[in-house]
Structure 1
Amino acid sequence: MNIGFTYDLKDDYLRSGYSDLEVAEFDSIETVEGVESALKSMGYTVDRIGSARDLIQRLCRGDRWDLVFNIAEGIRGIGREAQVPAILDVYNIPYVFSDPLVFSVTLHKGMAKRIVRDGGVKTPDFQIIRSEEDVWHIKLPFPLFAKPLAEGTGKGIGAKSVVHSQEELSVVSKNLLDRYQQPVLVERFLPGREFTVGITGSGSRGQVVGVMEICFLPDAASEIYGLVNKKNYQDFVRYRVPEQSVYDACAEMALKAWCLLECRDGGRIDIRHNENGEPEFIEVNPLAGLHPIESDLPILARLNGVSYENLIGRIMESARLRIFGDASHE
């Protein structure tokens, strides 16, 4: 089977003048090589395509693939993660991971929270700030947590994300509005333990790969799993598998949210305990990082006895079952 491989290579964008922050979500060559190697070990032929622009050029030349393994993040806009899937839909080429609707809805953290809340999954109350004036209309009890509405990889999240007054919220929101040029999600702050849950499969075939607790070390930049702590996880964070009762509660919530949002093939769901030790949905990442060593999904898989190759195999099995009705490699 001929597998096309779409991705946004970080180094290419840095050479084109983009900043480290702008391309923080993009993939390193180690990720590209890791995914490619795993796919080849399963007997697939892999054709590196690259970004959405590269895909368009290849399609215009007449190139086609049996299936596309898509991890391209897109460069701008609330629908940036949906760009490659939308292009492939136009050409009726099947692909791994979620469709344009799922990627657009889940990147908009407020929309995702509305869907899971309506489906009975507990999530912190929230409001959205679209201008500086909106700050003074926030009616949620402090402390609150503020972050960009549509970013990943912990961008815009850190110690200052936890705010304790209207004045603090005004300063933090103005900085986020100016820096990221998008609305700010403000939600009730959850003071408890933090977890991320890995899932493969689609719909009723969804399976939990594992649950991982994020434990902050004394030297951590903050007890918030933001960009600084993620980039320096070896110095600031320790990961562990939680006790069975917590594992089961997180797994159950994550699977329900995964199904409600109609995510496909593989990804992560972030959960945090409230003041009563109860899990609440924070957000979903249906396009989770796949760096073999440093990304959360492969890390939690290893902690739970699942190798990187097995993880990619589970993702491919889900896609094949969903698209072709079988999981064979021929």
Structure 2
Amino acid sequence: MAMTIGLTYDLRSEYLAEGFSEEETAEFDRDDTVTAIESTIQRLGHRTERIGHSRQLAAALVAGRRWDLVFNIAEGMHGIGREAQVPALLDMYRIPYTFSDPLVMSLSLHKGMTKRVIRDAGVPTSDFKVVERPAEALSVTFAPPYFVKPVAEGTGKGVTPQSIVHKKTDLEATCRRLMDTFRQAVIIEPYLPGREFTTGIVGTGPKARVLGTIEVHLLDTAEQGVYSYVNKEECESRVQYSLRRAENDPVVAEAEQVALSAWRALGCRDAGRLDLRCDRYGHPLFIEVNPLAGIHPEHSDLPIICNLLKIPYGDLIGWIIESAATRIEMTNHLQSAAGCI
């Protein structure tokens, strides 16, 4: 069935033109990402309408514009709930959309809160401590080396080789530096020295399935020991991604089971990716989830997994829309029920 699908997004070029920095806009999308998504949706037989960021969406809704479905990749600019702003607005108007709901978007942005839920669900993850004030770092109970990063950033923002801290006495200064820069709490975890994986998932709930897993290899040109902001921004020259298959690698099989369990425990929807890293014993542990994963056809991790598996970009977009479209009938039912009251 052909639908009218709106597109919500934050264009990096628009924010750069407003004076925001490269790092402040690191999570926002390139113009060619939106073009690729739109043209693919059109090839799938749907009509498209560009909406834009959350404020533009709010204005459009007030003006009476509506869509059968919204393909949402808007990250938001301000606040711990910034990735939840567009989903919350669409929920208010009972318009279905792709990817996760406001609860999941807010929860998953806060790495500490996410790990608390994951730990309670019995999904393997490392120890951690969320630090609101630098002096609190001294009360960490696990042994060094440590890994320190902002509690609510993505795309490797705030992650550098200095994120690896070898002495407990150096934690306070590292936390203070990150807090001064990003104006938020930080999370301290044990530094995991093992293999690093990114696992892609499509689908929702019991229908969710693993697409595939890539292993992250840092080249000699990369900042070593850490999948940092710089390494991610310049991944073409600093990082090599290798497809790993569960049937040939027991560690990958274990990682994919951890990833799928975490995805379902958190209630993530449609598609996304999870990051995992192995401890010194070789066991993969949950690091974080991205329920609003980058979707550039060539440079984002989820499409990279598809490309390595020879899965066409159109199939990925189609699976996302198919998964989200199951909620249209539910929304229509709610609207009909409301009209009978």
Task: Verify same fold: TM over 0.5.
Answer: yes
- Residue aligning to 2:281: 276
Aligned partners of 1:130 and 1:183 also within 8 Å: yes
Aligned partners of 1:98 and 1:263 also within 8 Å: yes
The CA deviation string for residues 119-176 of structure 1, in whole angstroms up to 9 with x for no partner, is: 1111010001111221222222111110000000010112111111123212211111
How many correspondences in the alignment?
325
Aligned partners of 1:69 and 1:96 also within 8 Å: yes
SS at match of 2:275: strand
Q: Which amino acid aligns with 1:9?
A: L
Aligned partners of 1:241 and 1:247 also within 8 Å: no
The CA deviation string for residues 45-64 of structure 1, in whole angstroms up to 9 with x for no partner, is: 11000000000111111101
- Residue aligning to 1:34: 36
> How far apart are the structure 2 equivalents of 1:189 and 1:29?
36
- Residue aligning to 1:328: none
**Could you tell me how far 1:184 is from its partner in structure 2?**
0.2
Q: 1:287 and 2:292 equivalent?
A: yes
SS at match of 1:185: strand
Structure 1 length-normalised TM? 0.96
Percent identity of equivalent pairs: 49
> How far apart are the structure 2 equivalents of 1:36 and 1:249?
36
69, 80, 83: which one aligns with 2:82? 80
Between 279-288 and 239-248, the greater mean CA deviation after superposition: 239-248
Structure 2, unpaired ranges of 5+: 331-341
> How far apart are the structure 1 equivalents of 2:311 and 2:253?
18
1:1-330 matches, within 5 Å, as: 1-242=3-244, 243-324=248-329
**Could you tell me how far 1:42 is from its partner in structure 2?**
0.4
SS at match of 2:293: coil
Q: Which amino acid aligns with 2:278?
A: H
Q: Which amino acid aligns with 2:255?
A: C
**Could you tell me how far 1:245 is from its partner in structure 2?**
2.0
Q: Which amino acid aligns with 2:27?
A: E
> How far apart are the structure 1 equivalents of 2:130 and 2:219?
32
Structure 1, unpaired ranges of 5+: 326-330
> How far apart are the structure 2 equivalents of 1:4 and 1:79?
22
**Could you tell me how far 1:203 is from its partner in structure 2?**
0.4
> How far apart are the structure 2 equivalents of 1:322 and 1:245?
36
Q: Which amino acid aligns with 1:180?
A: F
Structure 2 length-normalised TM? 0.93
> How far apart are the structure 2 equivalents of 1:146 and 1:102?
23
SS at match of 1:96: coil
SS at match of 2:287: strand
The CA deviation string for residues 157-211 of structure 1, in whole angstroms up to 9 with x for no partner, is: 1211111112321221111100000000001111000000000100000011110
SS at match of 2:180: helix
**Could you tell me how far 1:292 is from its partner in structure 2?**
1.0
SS at match of 1:95: coil
